[in-house]
């Protein structure tokens, strides 16, 4: 320890914050301290802020700038030779690249002539999350707002290939700015200093027997097994912190490191809602998913967890997260669990007897809102186990519709002639084995923009007829049925004819325009035209640049994430209009149209056969996610562009209104 105290009477040694001898009550004397010392002729140590297993944090003043900073001086036993100091420099340089409002900024680092190793950080006027947790259980709104900020900081680190490894309430500072609580996360990458170097026998001895890499209470199962760590390890720690904030107790308790290791690996935590009934189920579900034992079962990224927590809070508050035309509440977070509950079919209400049973592509379809249409997950997801039940429900509705027609027809004496002609009513959304389709009313709108890129100009008036559009992008699971049913070529990222595990519910990618067009024809649909796609994405006659309006809203769509794959469909409530999701992000989408200039209506000679894909995606920057941005490429995607185009482009289908 860098700071030590000694009893002048009995000689017993103590460490801060103890000030009196526990044996005789005598005030302790300082026996070792850095307070008052100047490090490297720049930083004068004014006082101690805190002390932990990795080192001691001090408040310092820069002698020339007169600015206040915080310095963490690492415990000498952690960096006691040249190899360890070299690793420290590497990790310190890495930590400096993290520049995020919720991450404490590392401004400098150094090693003194007597081998004191230190990091200089911005000084945060605030309290640790641990201090705040001692005051009592967190109300879920406050907890979510703080946790989401932690996720934002951690995501920034992950994007720079840095795993925190030691996330805990002590490493999270909270300060108040303008009445709002702002998070600052500390100690990025420092835990990696404790990893044993195979060439450093002395350090390996230090880390093998008694020294734990990380804090056992917050360690992930894979960390307990000393496996290679990825972003999912930090997500697990965030889940533990969130559980503890809202429940007042950690999800798992132990008597020591070994006990914690066993429980992290094998013991399932009590559901958060059981120990904290005040926490809404939608919020608790995200925390419990972060605590899954398998890294792949947790949220896709820290950014994904932040988005889901914020969306769950809005949903718990009753804020609309789906279009008013939707007839079911869809919990997209269940897609990653691949669990489907088969629901019972209830008898239709009397008002439902007048519903027209739609015949589409030779198949009877249940109307939106009918029991067979409602599901615990997106109705866009085909579930073979439901087909017999759906068929029975459809046949029952058809029989009831026929009976109703005989009872209500004018010549039966029991009906009235002023009944509305339901066949001429506005078409309703419908679902079949190929997914759920939403009705787009059509109308006039202004396509393109005069202040955009050359191929977006000029803005011009277009009229679109009513049409149906898939509510979600086509998933790998849906595409698998096409591959098997039509003996079609599987996507290029599959292993043979099998979709990689965990990707079933994600949008299908790695397909050409011909692949997408082939699926659409097989499903009795077609690809949307470029005009139809833009009409839907712009909110029709509203002419928005984004589904939600004309200004970009951070975290409103899955755009420029830096991930290696898309996310679960429908994860962003703002990124939808007409009940159609993911028009601004997730994956871009093939459309039916050839690439023509707006000005001449003719193709560019060098790109005469080019096709168009539209919409933002998880790879490219926000500027390319407007509803007017146009992408073009040859329909079979040349090999030199394959690695760039294939991972980020999928599709959805359209259908004419008959």
What pLDDT, on a 0 to 100 scale, did the predictor assign at position 217? 92
Find out if CATH 1.10.510.10 is the number for domain 126-197+214-319.
Answer: yes
* Average pLDDT, rounded, for the chain: 79
**Structure confidence at residue 428 as a pLDDT band (50, 70, 90):** confident
Query: Could you read off the pLDDT of 76-94 as tens digits, one per residue?
Result: 776 666 776 776 777 677 7
CB contact set of 587 (below 8 Å; sequence gap of 6+): 473, 507, 509, 566, 615, 617, 618, 648, 649, 650
pLDDT of residue 137: 93
Provide Rg for the chain, Cα atoms: 30
pLDDT of residue 213: 58
Main-chain dihedrals φ then ψ at residue 653, nearest 5 degrees: -110, 160
- Check residue 81 and give its pLDDT: 67
Q: Residue 166 catalytic?
A: yes
Cβ burial, residue 361 (10 Å; 0-12/13-18/19+)? exposed
Give the three-class secondary structure for 209.
coil
User: To the nearest 10°, the Cα dihedral for 380, 385, 390, 392?
Assistant: 170
* Whether the bond into 144 is cis, omega within 30 of 0: no
| Confidence (pLDDT) at 109 | 84
pLDDT-derived band of residue 48, with 50, 70 and 90 as boundaries? confident
Question: What is the pLDDT, as a whole number, of residue 93?
Answer: 76
pLDDT for 319 equals: 72
Name the pLDDT band for 108 (thresholds 50, 70, 90): confident
Q: Is pLDDT at 311 greater than 90 in this prediction?
A: yes
User: Predicted confidence band at 479 (pLDDT cuts at 50, 70, 90)?
Assistant: very high
* Catalytic residue (one of 152, 166, 304, 515): 166
115-159 residue pLDDT tens: 788 888 888 888 999 999 999 999 999 999 999 999 999 998 898
Q: Are 596 and 580 a contacting pair, CB within 8 Å?
A: no
Mean pLDDT of 38-59: 84
What is the total residue count of the chain? 658
Q: Return the pLDDT at 430.
A: 83
Give the pLDDT confidence score for residue 104 in this predicted structure.
86
Interior angle at CA 135, CA 131 and CA 141, nearest 5: 95
* pLDDT score at 190: 64
Q: How remote is the C-alpha of 266 from its chain's centroid?
A: 26
The pLDDT of residue 406 is 39
Which tens digits make up the pLDDT trace of 367-426? Answer: 333 333 333 333 333 344 444 444 444 444 444 444 443 343 433 433 333 333 434 457
Per-residue pLDDT averaged across 360-372, rounded? 33
- Tell me the per-residue pLDDT of 217-247, one tens digit each, with 9 for 90 and over: 999 999 998 888 899 999 999 999 999 999 9
* pTM listed for this prediction: 0.48
End-to-end CA distance of the chain: 79
Kindly report which listed range (54-68, 143-157, 284-298) carries the lowest average pLDDT score: 54-68
| CATH placement of domain 434-656 | 3.90.1580.10
What's the CATH number for 34-123? 3.30.200.20
Reported as a pLDDT band with limits 50, 70 and 90, residue 192 is low
* Range scoring the smallest mean pLDDT among 206-210, 289-293, 581-585, 592-596: 206-210
Burial of 588 (0-12, 13-18, 19+ CB in 10 A): buried
Average of pLDDT values for 55-82? 83
- Supply the pLDDT for residue 19: 79
Residue-level pLDDT at 282: 94
Share of the chain above pLDDT 70, in %: 78
Q: Which residue(s) pair with 119 in the sheet?
A: 72, 109
pLDDT at 142: 96
Across the range 34-41, mean pLDDT stands at: 90
**Beta-carbon-side half-sphere exposure of residue 520 (alpha carbons within 13 Å):** 28
Give whole-number Cα distances, 491 to 58, 220, 291, 497, in Å.
56, 34, 32, 8
**How do the domains of the chain map onto residue ranges?**
34-123, 126-197+214-319, 350-430, 434-656
pLDDT of residue 352: 31
Inform me whether the pLDDT recorded for 327 exceeds 50. Answer: no
Asked which of 317-321, 356-360, 437-441 is least confident by mean pLDDT, the reply is 356-360
Instruction: Give the count of beta carbons closer than 10 Å to the beta carbon of residue 584.
Output: 30
Structure tokens at 417: 């002639």
């Amino acid at each position: 320890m860098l700071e030590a105290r000694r009893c002048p009477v009995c000689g017993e040694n103590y460490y801060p914050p103890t000030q009196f001898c526990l044996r005789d009550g005598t005030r302790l004397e300082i026996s070792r301290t850095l307070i008052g010392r100047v490090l490297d002729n720049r930083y004068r140590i004014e006082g101690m802020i805190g002390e932990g297993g990795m080192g001691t944090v001090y408040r310092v003043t820069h002698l020339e700038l007169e600015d206040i900073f915080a310095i963490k001086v690492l415990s000498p036993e952690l960096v006691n030779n040249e190899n360890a100091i070299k690793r420290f420099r590497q990790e310190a340089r890495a930590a400096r690249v993290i520049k995020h409002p919720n991450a404490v900024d590392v401004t400098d680092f150094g090693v003194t002539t007597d081998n004191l190793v230190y990091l200089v950080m911005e000084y945060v006027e605030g309290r640790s999350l641990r201090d705040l947790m001692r005051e009592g259980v967190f109300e879920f709104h406050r907890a979510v707002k703080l946790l989401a900020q932690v996720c934002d900081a951690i995501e920034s680190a992950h994007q720079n290939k840095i795993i925190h490894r030691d996330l805990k309430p002590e490493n999270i500072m909270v300060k108040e700015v303008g009445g709002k609580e702002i998070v600052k996360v500390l100690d990025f990458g420092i835990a990696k200093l404790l990893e044993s170097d195979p060439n450093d026998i002395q350090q390996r001895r230090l880390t093998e027997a008694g020294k734990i890499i990380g804090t056992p209470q917050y360690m992930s199962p894979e960390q307990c097994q000393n496996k290679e760590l990825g972003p999912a390890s930090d997500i697990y720690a965030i889940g533990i912190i969130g559980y503890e904030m809202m429940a007042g107790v950690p999800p798992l308790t132990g008597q020591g490191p070994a006990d914690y290791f066993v429980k992290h690996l094998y013991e399932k935590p009590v559901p958060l809602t059981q120990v904290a009934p005040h926490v809404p189920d939608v919020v608790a579900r995200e925390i419990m998913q972060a605590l899954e034992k398998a890294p792949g079962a947790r949220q896709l990224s820290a950014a994904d967890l932040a988005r889901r927590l914020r969306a769950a809070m809005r949903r718990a508050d009753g804020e609309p997260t789906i279009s008013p035309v939707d007839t079911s509440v869809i919990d997209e977070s269940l897609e990653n669990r691949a669990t489907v509950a088969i629901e019972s079919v209830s008898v239709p209400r009397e008002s439902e007897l007048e519903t027209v049973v739609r015949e589409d592509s030779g198949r009877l379809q249940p109307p939106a809102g009918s029991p067979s249409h409602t599901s615990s997950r997106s109705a866009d997801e085909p579930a073979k186990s439901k087909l017999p039940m759906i068929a029975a429900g459809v046949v029952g509705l058809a029989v009831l519709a026929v009976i109703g027609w005989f009872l209500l027809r004018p010549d039966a004496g029991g009906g009235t002639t002023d009944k509305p002609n339901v066949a001429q009513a506005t078409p309703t959304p419908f679902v079949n084995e190929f997914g759920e389709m939403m009705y787009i009313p059509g109308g006039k709108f202004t396509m393109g923009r005069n202040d955009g890129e050359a191929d977006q100009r000029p803005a011009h008036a277009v009229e679109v007829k009513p049409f149906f559009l898939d509510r979600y992008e086509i998933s790998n699971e849906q595409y698998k049925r096409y591959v098997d049913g039509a003996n079609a070529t599987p996507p290029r990222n599959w292993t043979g004819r099998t979709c990689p595990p965990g990707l079933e519910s994600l949008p299908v990618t790695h397909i050409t325009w011909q692949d997408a067009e082939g699926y659409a024809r097989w499903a009795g649909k077609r690809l949307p035209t470029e005009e139809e796609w833009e009409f839907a994405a712009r909110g029709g006659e509203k002419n928005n640049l984004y589904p939600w309006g004309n200004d970009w809203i951070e975290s409103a769509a899955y755009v420029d994430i830096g991930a290696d794959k898309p996310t679960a469909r429908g994860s962003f409530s703002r990124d939808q209009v007409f009940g159609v999701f993911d028009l601004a992000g997730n994956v871009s989408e093939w459309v039916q149209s050839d690439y023509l200039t707006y000005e001449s209506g003719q193709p560019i000679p060098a790109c005469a056969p080019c096709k168009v894909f539209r919409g933002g995606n998880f790879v490219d920057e926000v500027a390319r996610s407007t509803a007017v941005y146009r992408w073009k490429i040859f329909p079979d995607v040349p090999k030199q562009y394959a690695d760039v185009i294939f991972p980020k482009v999928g599709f959805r289908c359209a259908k004419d209104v008959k």
